[in-house]
Amino acid sequence: MNAPIGMAAIEKKGWWASHRFLLLRRLAQASLIGLFLLGPLAGVWVLKGNLSASLLLDTIPFSDPLVWLQTLFAGHTLEWSLGLGALVVTGMYLLVGGRVFCSWACPVNPVTDSANWLRTKLGLNRSGKLSRSLRFWMLGMTLILPLLTGMLLWELINPVSLLMRGIVYGMGVGWLLIAAIFAFDLLMIRRGWCGHLCPLGAFYTLLGRVSPLRVNASKRNECNNCMDCFAVCPEPQVIKPALKGQSTGASTVILAPECTNCGRCIDVCGESVFEFSTRFANKAETQS
């Protein structure tokens, strides 16, 4: 009988080292929501607004660059603060990896992670098939629709924006959309929304193609093929080239921009094969 996922890591490294990046991600997600809630609930305005557009300490603007592009394509007059905020956010994710947003900031991530956790607990192993490239078609649609209609139609149903605004200001029937995403990931396709459909995730994938922060399978020679890293990874297809590419001289660094830098592969690896590193830490040794 196979041991539960991550059990070997707990036995070898301890509970904290086997969950640290998961807990730190949850802390980051909760802290971001907490900063937005401080104003409405306690009158302490650290962050005003929401994930689409916000202002830190009444000084530094943050804007979703995809919202900014949609606004531009719709032909609306742009405020300078929206463009500056988009530049600030773009610069941040160019450095740390675009899809860091997905795993460390997006409020939908705990929803889809919960669906995947329950899916594993219930033994729901069957999953439908859907091309991961579909999210890029979705991204194209979010930009073409404003060109054709002059409206930001995607933002009317964007679950990321809806959930964040709902948490801060109250949510009505938008919960039905979030429940539908949970059910979709649980019952139909593993990691269906984030891994196959979300246009915002696709946008941040493109944004993070050149980012220096990467996960590195620097000790891949010590891999014991337990497969726990593949089981927990939201984008498991990105692991194989770095972990199993020794015979071809492939880099140990996970260079695929779909990697969310969530750190779960580092958590659950009992052999400590993975670590956070940079794209420049290439150890492309070949098998002797």
How does pLDDT run across 144-189, given as a tens digit for each residue? 999 999 999 999 899 998 898 888 777 777 889 999 999 999 999 9
Q: Rounded to a whole number, what is the distance in angstroms from the first to the last CA of the chain? A: 34
**What's the pLDDT at 214?**
95
Assigned token pair, 50: 């929401």
| pLDDT (average), residues 103-110 | 95
pLDDT band at 98 (very low <50, low <70, confident <90, very high): confident
**What's the pLDDT at 51?**
87
> Which is more confidently placed, 287 or 187?
187
**What's the pLDDT at 1?**
53
pLDDT band at 288 (very low <50, low <70, confident <90, very high): very low
Distance (Å, rounded) from C-alpha 250 to C-alpha 135? 27
The structure's pTM equals 0.89
Nearest of 94, 90, 103, 89 to residue 56 by alpha carbon: 89
Residue 285, pLDDT > 70, answer no
